[in-house]
Structure 1
Amino acid sequence: MLYISSNLRSLRSKRNLSQLAVSDAMKFGLDQYKKYEYGKNTPPAESLLVISRFYHISIDLLLTVDLEKVSIGDLVTLENNRIVLPITVDCNGNNLVEVVTQKAKAGYAAGGYTDFSFISELDHISLPWLDKNEKHRVFPLDGDSMPPHNDKSSIIGKYIDKLGDVVDGKTYIIITKNNEMVYKRLNRNGKNTFSLTSDNSFYNSYEINFSDIAEIWEYAGSLEREQFKPETNDINNLTMVIKKIERDMVEIKAKMA
């Protein structure tokens, strides 16, 4: 069942707008718009895109979710961010958990997160312990910067739609507008920046501007393909210390040069 006609009436009513005002704002003819609201015609893809941008709601939600029964609030409020969040749902309208694999990682970070066809082609799973009123997605990891997780780990992320909801000290998957996907511990560092820190002290912390963030997903669990190893022994700790000293020496030489 498609809810586009009832959703158009509901969204317009919530804004106290007339049909004429909405049709003018969307650059639709009044008769054309009325047919969408009355369910006589289904808006084509181009018109759906205009509607989604006008109301800041994803096309998926416009079509498949009864917005009279769902509190969507401010769906996306990140500064300079895109205005839709592509999602997939099951036959009952429940959000599915999309799995971003290593193979799909580069495409996702490069902007596939805004592409409905890209998202729909990802593998999907259902995790019954997750809150059905929240949006989750699974992301792969690289390297050893966030032990005990490694490149055999995948992080289950909960979508964060407001930067103000980020809690200092917690870990998050961040998708940047520079086509990067990182998993770090965040702390506010000034008014418009975060400090990104690795739990592995071998890696330096760095900063990111709010305006460079495309998506943030809060840690909600992990999927592991190998057992966690026992606590590192003294020899391994010493190895890490030596590596850190070597890295610091390289940085000092570079500055002196």
Structure 2
Amino acid sequence: MYMIASNIRHLRTLKKLSQEALAKDLSITRSRIGSYEEGRSEPSIEMLIAFSNYFKLPVDILIRTDLSKTKDGSFLNVAENRILFPMVVDLEDDDLIEVVPIKASAGYLNGYDDPEYIDQLQKIKLPFLPTGKHRAFPIKGDSMLPLKDGSFVVGQFIEDVRDIQNGRTYVVLTNSQGMVYKRVYNQIKENNSLLLVSDNKTYNPYLVPAQDVLELWEFTCCINTQEYDEHELQMSSIIRMFNELGVELKALEKMMQ
């Protein structure tokens, strides 16, 4: 049944459970767990619901999504029936981040909660990033100078809107505005809104209702592409820039030790 066999085995391993321990928790036999993990039999609907409740993951995620790319069990329930996977790793067990391409950024509002859409995004390795889930977003317009159109911002996922640090910059995804990059001020206590402010003062600040906010990603680092010609800004070039940034910062870190 799609990915269910490998997913059960992987999730059990993440929780450091033996087949016997998992079977006991689910009130079934160890041999049934072994049969599911080896693909010799498929769980019934009732059993899928039991696995879903136990691992706190939607049934369709258990069936359709390859969870072996995640390296811990701390999946984030960011909305009802929606899961954000905190980490993806490569063959060397290094953390990877997804890059939202410029041409596909308009579709992010429709695909941000679709595991298949996120899974097809190109991924890069930035070993200098702090612990947490990160994603890279293209910047549009000139409202956040000196960053210009086409630049990329890497943001760290913020699970709770109340964790916003006033005056810091965030990639904000909302139902009404789509994806924007702004300086954010928390006004939830005053009017249940966030105040979004541009660094370019020709743009007026505006309020966004807290319930309209779908995702928040706090600025971690960026690639400013203003020095590059348009023909140079292919996705392969962007990926190379980020990788070179990681190498340079790792070298600097070693020099300062």
Is the structural similarity TM-score above 0.5? yes
Contact 2:94–2:125 at 8 Å: present in 1 too? no
* Alignment match, 1:185: 183
SS at match of 2:136: strand
Q: For 2:151 and 2:48, locate their aligned partners in 1 and report how far apart those are by CA, in whole Å.
A: 37
Matched residue SS, 2:173: strand
Match of 1:145 in 2: 143
Aligned pairs (5 A) from 1:105-254: 105-110=105-110, 112-131=111-130, 133-178=131-176, 180-191=178-189, 192-227=192-227
Which residue identity lines up with residue 98 of structure 2 in the other structure?
Answer: E
> Do the aligned partners of residues 7 and 209 (structure 1) sit closer, same or farther apart at CA in structure 2, a change above 3 Å counting?
same
**Alignment CA distance shift 1:153-1:11 (3 Å):** same
Deviations 1:84-129 (A, max 9, x none): 115643124433121111111011122x122222222222211221
Distance 1:174 1:54, change over 3 A: farther
The CA distance in 2 between the partners of 1:217 and 1:91, in whole Å, is 26
Deviation at 1:55, TM superposition (A): 4.0
**Structure 2 gaps, min length 5:** 229-257
Aligned alpha-carbon RMSD (Å): 3.9
| CA distances 1:21-76 after superposition (whole Å, capped 9, x unpaired) | xxxxxxxxx68x943786243868x987985576445656844446xxx462xx43
Task: Check conservation: 2:152, 2:222, Cα contact below 8 A.
Answer: yes
Alignment size in residue pairs: 209
Cα displacement (A) at 1:205: 1.2
Q: Distance in 1 between matches of 2:174 and 2:54?
A: 25
Cα contact 1:53–1:83 (8 A) shared by 2? no
Q: For the residues of structure 1 that align with 2:49 and 2:203, how far apart are their CA atoms?
A: 42
1:197 deviates by 0.8
2:214 and 2:32 map into 1 onto residues whose CA distance is 35
1:149 is displaced (CA, Å) by: 0.7
Q: Distance in 1 between matches of 2:162 and 2:108?
A: 24
Residue 84 of structure 2 corresponds to 85
| Code of the aligned partner of 2:126 | L
Go from structure 1 to structure 2 and tell me whether the alpha carbon gap of 1:121 and 1:61 turns closer, same or farther (over 3 Å shift).
Answer: closer
The question of 1:103 aligning with 2:103 is answered yes
Check conservation: 2:169, 2:181, Cα contact below 8 A: yes
Which amino acid in structure 1 is aligned with residue 8 of structure 2?
I
Q: Give the Å deviation of 1:4.
A: 2.4
> CA separation of 1:6/1:156 partners in 2, compared to 1, >3 Å: closer, same or farther?
closer
Q: 1:19 aligns with which of 5, 26, 34?
A: 26
Amino acid of the structure 1 residue aligned with 2:26: Q
Structure 2 residue aligned with 1:4, among 2, 5, 8? 8
CA contact (8 A) 1:194 1:210 kept: yes
Structure 1's unaligned 5+ residue stretches are: 21-29, 229-257
Over residues 206-248 of structure 1, what are the superposed CA-to-partner deviations in whole Å (9 max), with x where a residue is unaligned?
11122211111000011121249xxxxxxxxxxxxxxxxxxxx
Where 1:96 maps in the other structure, the secondary structure is: strand
| Mapped partners of 2:101, 2:6: distance in 1 | 30
Tell me if the contact between 2:69 and 2:90 (Cα under 8 Å) persists in the aligned partners.
Answer: no
TM normalised by structure 2 equals: 0.65
CA contact (8 A) 1:171 1:218 kept: yes
2:141 partner letter: G
Q: Conserved in 2, the CA contact under 8 Å of 1:65 and 1:93?
A: no
Residue-by-residue CA offset, 1:105-160 (whole Å, 9 max, x unaligned):
011122x12222222222221122113x3221110111111111110311111111
Equivalent position of 2:251 in the other structure: none
